[in-house]
Amino acid sequence: MKTVNSQELKDLIAVSEVPVFVDFSATWCGPCRMLAPILEELSERYAGKAVFVKVDVDDSREAAIEHGITNIPNVIAFKDGKAVANQLGFVPEEQTEAFIKSIL
């Protein structure tokens, strides 16, 4: 999964024709590290149907502030340029996949 900065995220959300799932996280966050391999696997499973990216909240504070990130991990789904849903905290693979499917 590619890590993007604040501007890259804005650009991606604006032009993507498929849903964009953004993992707001940080390297020091334990639950983030637990969720990362799940999202990586799901990003491969849903390649072509959705785009998955990661935003490090320490490196991209602007994006975190703009999207109201106060707790991590926080996966926000964007569709047609707008945030449509989010999943907060570590969630097991089955539930994370159900969240993704609900947006697709």
Sign of CA dihedral 36, 42, 46, 49: negative
pLDDT at residue 21, rounded to an integer = 98
Q: Which domains does the chain have, with CATH numbers?
A: 2-103 (3.40.30.10)
- The residue annotated as part of the active site, out of 29, 42, 69, 100, is 29
**Catalytic option among 32, 53, 69, 100:** 32
Q: What is the pTM of this model?
A: 0.96
pLDDT digits (tens, 9 = 90+) for 13-69: 999 999 999 999 999 999 999 999 999 999 999 999 999 999 999 999 999 999 999
The 3 state secondary structure assigned to the chain is CEECCHHHHHHHHHHCCCCEEEEEECCCCHHHHHHHHHHHHHHHHCECCEEEEEEECCCCHHHHHHCCCCCCCEEEEEECCEEEEEEECCCCHHHHHHHHHHHC
> What does the pLDDT average to over 78-87?
97
* Interval 88-102: pLDDT, tens: 999 999 999 999 999
Residue 5 confidence (pLDDT) = 96
What is the number of other CB atoms lying within 10 angstroms of the CB of residue 77? Answer: 20
Q: In the prediction, which pLDDT does 62 show?
A: 95
Length of the chain: 104
Question: Is there a catalytic annotation at residue 29?
Answer: yes
